[in-house]
Chain A
């Protein structure tokens, strides 16, 4: 495992923070209007640190969402068409992709947050919340010649995980609150990619679109949820506030999510219309994807420098290394001989994530009627450079953001923020994906002791993803909170 060697620094900066996605899948700013975190005491604490619910005063409602746009571009390295390895005579035009996340749908999509709760007698706090802690949306666009250079890793994908959670906090003493959140995580997904059926052949050219089978898998309806738990504590003394929380990966399955993909289609190579299913039984394929979600540690400290000014530092440790692959399984009629023979009925998509750190510094100026602030966020990559593909683009990111909150009327407050995330370009170097492993493993008779077969087993025996990757994001968020 490669470990990030980036130095981390917590930087205070004159910017406010808005909601933006962090590394792949993770949302680093759930309900974060620029002022929430493990030391704050609002309804967003259901996610950030349930102990913060102990600071609620009276009944409250919080509602809001963020519009987020992600853009990526991929400059793939050339390949040798005979082997599929880099470099070679086949060049690729720049591929670009984009994805938008917004919550304005039912049930609320990624970026949305709704919570209702109350502080009870300055002793307890309780809240119910709906949010999406893990989400991703990216679609690659065809190039001018109509090709999709990233097709073997990603055509498009959407992953959503809607959490319904209940948080409870109690004052353990004058200066210490402890809290717990328990929730159900409802996953849904749509995943489209191509499989190069020529990889095992000795003579066929590699990455020939005519030999690509397209896998299109989508979940349908409400799925069986996973369950998670979050524990937290807050300490306040004088001008200092400290907060710590731990959120588990899905419980009972070691973080594994098994998601039924009821709408599964495989389009055979050659560009034929329709899928593998006979006309008499359309939709005959049943799919499933399996992947792991991370656990998260969050630590924060706030220093109230003056009655108006405060500074906050937050560190999140995301155990992304649990997300090692996405396993795709497909079942179909026994009479359908193609799946499992000429077309795989199982595909392992290697991810090989590593743990990442999300560090941010925040400065806030607060008055009776408004507050403004800024945040500078730095996040290490969850994906080692050689593991990067169109389906998992990540690198060192820097994100300045600004936000402001106004007291609109009595206990009604509205906040808005804007953030821009820039990922330093990632040059993969030698990609971990090596298409030659397929034939090498065949030659070895499928010997799991053979490195090529180990690569195939882990999902690395795919067309190379070597190249340079760029990504940037913008997000605009608006949240409103009501006190009663």
Chain B
């Protein structure tokens, strides 16, 4: 089945001379339900022209292909072949609607994805990662379900990470994943799926934090011991609603939370990865922190990095009272730099699915095999954020994240990277405040 998919993709990519016609203005998107019967905060839906009229088109960063049912999908899914065609995005659902973007001569699959969110939403196709990766994609995802989501397609996004950090944007770098290749076997052509999937490290269910709490001490060698939460790897999926986790990953998180792994509400999950409903266990997660998807020699893991950033933030907020940096966060006489992160909270809806479900298997289809991806952070989980999926940033892609106006720390909080702090009076912007650093490393 997978081999057939690969061949289809190769054919879809053959001989196309792609033309992207778009402006830099916002494109309005609607949203599917986050779960059956849930709020309309789920997968992002554009309006697309088909021969059957204007139909919904799923905008899904996690989906590895671009597809559009040539005859429309309102009458039901019809699996077809591949073709070079056009994908014309419309401004709304009216019959005479403005053309807002046109992707011409692009390789498409003539297939209809399954329902999305619930059984009332049948997209005509998917604007997936391969097409989106040609842009710096801006997304405004309101927490208010009554407000439309907004997408902008820019050729790039200005500003270095440091510049944007001053503006409060957290830059989470990633190396696109999802590539898979198949050699020539039995006369079939070899082909490659492009790298287009954004995968970030995350800390699921970290403890609550406030700069008014008592200081957390941390001696040398204890940096990992003081972490709370569970490390997971998540794909960013704007076509999905809830946070989707494999049952294996949820088992670890549940243990961390001290709840039974099978406690929750049985239900169904509708994603484009499967044409039928995926059995799911719906649970709630108190909070989730998203960090960079890239690693380096100093990378400690998502939850450990989060805990370090919180401790350093705590010191900066309390340095006037004599607070000092914990030894485990020190590098010589300076506090270590912190990793940028986005923390989401306010009871996040989670769909727990089987490790062997199509959605989890598809996420881990990389060839060669890479780090296990535990699930997808969906558009519903990301509600309340303003994201810039800067695929074209060099040398690695980056997700620039900010919270919508009016967000509280409990619902959305972004912390750009804070540089090494030496306590010599340096003035800089860290953790959303301009601080003059006087704190030293604890003796």
Binding site for B on A (CB under 8 A): 258, 260-262, 264, 280-281, 283-284, 286-288, 290, 327, 329-337, 346, 348, 444-450, 453, 456-457
Contacts and interface: CB of A to CB of B under 8 A. Distances in A.
B21 A448 contact: yes
Interface string B8-23: 0000000000000111
Given A261-B158, A286-B158, 5 more contacts: A334-B403, A336-B167, A446-B25, A448-B23, A457-B24
Interface string B92-121: 100001111110000000000000000000
Contacts of A264: 158
A445 B91 contact: yes
A33 B403 CA distance: 59
A258 B394 CA distance: 12
A221 B98 CA distance: 43
B168 interface: yes
Interface stretch (B149-157, B177-185, B202-210, B322-330): B149-157
Contact of A448 (B100, B155, B402): B100
Given A290-B155, A331-B158, A450 B98 contact: yes
B86 to A, nearest CB: 13
B167 A281 contact: yes
Nearest to B21: A448
A331 B157 contact: yes
A421 B405 CA distance: 56
B191 interface: no
A269 to B, nearest CB: 20
Interface string B303-317: 000000000000000
B374 to A, nearest CB: 28
A286 B386 contact: no
A288 B21 CA distance: 21
Contact of B24 (A262, A283, A346): A346
A337 B406 CA distance: 12
B310 to A, nearest CB: 22
A260 B156 CA distance: 11
A288 B159 CA distance: 8
Given A346-B24, A448-B99, A448-B100, A329 B91 contact: no
A465 B166 CA distance: 38
B274 interface: no
Contacts of A327: 24, 155
B98 A446 contact: yes
Nearest to B402: A334
B356 interface: no
A262 B163 contact: yes
A333 B92 CA distance: 29
Given A333-B167, A334-B402, A335-B168, A288 B158 contact: yes
A334 B158 contact: no
B159 A448 contact: no
B169 interface: yes
Closest 5 CB pairs of A and B: A286-B159, A447-B98, A288-B158, A334-B402, A445-B98
20 contacts: A281-B166, A283-B166, A286-B158, A290-B155, A290-B156, A329-B156, A329-B157, A329-B158, A331-B163, A331-B169, A333-B167, A334-B167, A334-B386, A346-B154, A445-B91, A445-B98, A446-B98, A447-B98, A448-B21, A449-B98
Contacts of A287: 158
A348 B24 CA distance: 9
Contacts of A449: 98-99
Interface string B72-92: 000000000000000000011
A120 to B, nearest CB: 38
A216 B315 CA distance: 39
B23 A446 contact: yes
